[in-house]
Amino acid sequence: MADTLATMPFDEALERFEPVLGLETHVELGTTSKMFCGCRTTFGAPPNTHVCPVCLALPGALPVANDKAIESTIRIGLALNCTIAEWCRFARKNYFYPDMPKNYQISQYDEPLCVNGYLDVEVGGSTVRVEIERVHLEEDTGKSTHVGGATGRIHGADYSIVDYNRAGIPLVEIVTKPIPGTDRLAPEVARAYVTELRELMRALGVSDVRMEEGSLRCDVNVSLMPRGASEWGTRTETKNVNSLRSVERAVRGEIERQAAVLADGGKIVQETRHFHEDTGATTSGRSKEEAQDYRYFPEPDLLPIAPAPEWIEELRSELPELPSARRRRLQAEWAVSDLDMAAMHNAGAIDLVEATVAAGVPAADARKWWMGELARRANESGTALADLPITPAQIARVVELVASGALNDKLARQVLEGVLAGEGSPDEVVEARGLRIVSDEGELTSIIDQVLSANADAADKVRAGKIAAVGALVGGVMKASRGKADAGRARELILERLGVSE
Ligand code: ADP
Ligand code: MG
Ligand code: ZN
């Protein structure tokens, strides 16, 4: 079927239709060796150097399951509030594609290791509970590269090459139940869910979850139903969306596209779609009619998995503090509002503020600098806060200089600017740019004398008892010192010099 490019504006689409989401996330585990053989899993090795008879599927090779991967999957399941199966099996998913040398992938089918969990995500000040259908363990495929075409896809390519280093790396798939009721927040809920999941994986230490390297990949399912309808619409599945921003855009784009199709009397075809970074739109992939029958059956070369209940309880008791609990704890420690906490979370500032507080800075100051001046600069340069070339320890030093009276806020901002520009540590920048507050009496007095003679009118007013006029003189001193004077001390000295007491 030809793809139409028509879209309906998001707001209108939401007035007429209700979206339902479903997210399938693949996480490559950070185990040292592969799922069913001893090959290394390091990213970026020369092609086809981490391979052996098992992951190349040479005749007679037999798989052995990686304990550590099973343990990590159970920990993920526990952190997602799932029930862990007492007994389950691997299954063969039969298909041929050159990146899967065995003709089948070892996966799990109707007996997943973990089922029926949930993950709470915070969006727009409220909590949305995303229910988890299943968490299962499988092996990753190799990576094909199609050379010569314009799109990087197989169509139009001159030739294709394949790298089996990734084939057989343990891969966990986390599938949500359908998520209804998110309405106009659907794109944000999808993004917040993947963000929370990524943080959870990091806290568990089971994966480096780098979306840009493919160790976390997301398939985004979306359907629409007319408002008030009782049955969900037909879903599409947008494959391998590889950034958080793209997850949000893919949902939004699909809502806008499906709404236009439905409003035009058309039908949504159940199919996979590809997301295009440049336009934010999706295009048609493979439809369900063409989908193959995988002829799943229990993997005969592997033993069933039967984790002992005591082991599961031990793993449960050893789970680390999870990201949502940690945020609640920090929010209480820092005494900030839900809104401020959410803003810090969205800006990726929580770890930075925490490290700055650990370096001895009051929470309010740490938050002020990271969410104010530094967030502004990160925004301007289009970098993530964490990627700014400045450390929590350096912020702590700047705050210390302000507290001791050596810098005021304005000078502190210049120090930060210098550090960000690579001019060195805060102390080096203060030194090189001469940014210390002038509180030295002699230097201040000579600036004050200049200002008094240049502003004789204002000086006369103050002498005559109009103390309010001193503001202009202090302003003059600040200007003449290019912001470096200690304003309070300057005011005292001016009044003293004019023979006025308050
Ligand atoms: P498949 O193997 O076809 O990808 P899965 O069961 O693995 O199917 O995943 C389908 C995903 O789509 C799940 O997250 C599921 O909750 C979600 N889903 C199912 N029905 C709908 C629907 N009508 N609208 C949106 N999402 C749906
Ligand atoms: Mg699927
Ligand atoms: Zn191998």
Q: Is the pLDDT of residue 3 over 70?
A: no
Tell me how far apart the alpha carbons of residues 416 and 481 are, in angstroms, rounded to a whole number. Answer: 19
Mutate to test the pocket of ligand 1, among 179, 221, 272, 293 (most ligand atoms within 8 A of CB): 221
User: Which atom of ligand 1 is the closest one to the Cα of 176?
Assistant: 14
- Amino acid identity of residue 434, one-letter, is G
What are the b/e assignments for 326-353, b being 16+ CB within 10 Å?
bbeebbeebebeeeebbebbebbbbebb
Task: Give, as one character, the DSSP assignment of residue 227.
Answer: T
Model-wide pTM > 0.75: yes
Radius of gyration (C-alpha) of the chain in whole angstroms: 30
**159 and 200 assigned to the same domain:** yes
Q: How many distinct structural domains can be found in the chain?
A: 3
**108 and 198 assigned to the same domain:** yes
Containing structural domain, residue 337: 323-433
> How large is the average pLDDT for residues 63-79?
98
Confirm or reject: Cβ of 294 under 6 Å from ligand 1.
no
**460 and 349 assigned to the same domain:** no
Whether 295 maps to a domain, the answer reads yes
**449 and 429 assigned to the same domain:** no
Q: Could you tell me which residues are beta bridge partners of residue 211? A: none
How many whole angstroms from 106 Cα to the centroid of ligand 3?
Answer: 14
How many whole angstroms from 437 Cα to the centroid of ligand 3?
Answer: 64
Whether 413 maps to a domain, the answer reads yes
- Amino acid identity of residue 410, one-letter, is K
Q: Tell me if residue 9 falls in helix, strand or coil.
A: coil
Whether 212 maps to a domain, the answer reads yes
Closest CA to 241 of 202, 281, 203, 206: 281
Confirm or reject: Cβ of 112 under 6 Å from ligand 1.
no
Whether 3 maps to a domain, the answer reads no
Closest CA to 285 of 226, 189, 220: 220
Number of alpha carbons in the 13 Å side-chain half-sphere of residue 119 = 32
How many whole angstroms from 171 Cα to the centroid of ligand 2?
Answer: 13
**344 and 279 assigned to the same domain:** no
From 282, 314, 346, give the residue that closes a domain: 314
Residue 456 sits in a domain of what CATH number?
1.10.10.410
Confirm or reject: Cβ of 177 under 6 Å from ligand 1.
yes
How many whole angstroms from 231 Cα to the centroid of ligand 1?
Answer: 14
**413 and 445 assigned to the same domain:** no
From 295, 314, 333, give the residue that closes a domain: 314
Confirm or reject: Cβ of 220 under 6 Å from ligand 1.
no
Q: Which ligand minimizes its atom distance to the CA of 254? A: 1
> How large is the average pLDDT for residues 226-248?
94
From 415, 433, 451, give the residue that closes a domain: 433
Whether 5 maps to a domain, the answer reads no
pLDDT in tens, 261-279: 999 999 999 999 999 888 8
Q: Is the pLDDT of residue 502 over 80?
A: no
**338 and 296 assigned to the same domain:** no
Ligand 1, atom 6: nearest CA belongs to which residue?
175
**310 and 327 assigned to the same domain:** no
Confirm or reject: Cβ of 221 under 6 Å from ligand 1.
yes
Whether 93 maps to a domain, the answer reads yes
Element (H, E) at 237: strand 236-241
pLDDT in tens, 348-406: 999 999 999 999 999 999 999 999 999 999 999 999 999 999 999 999 999 999 998 88
Whether 165 maps to a domain, the answer reads yes
**198 and 105 assigned to the same domain:** yes
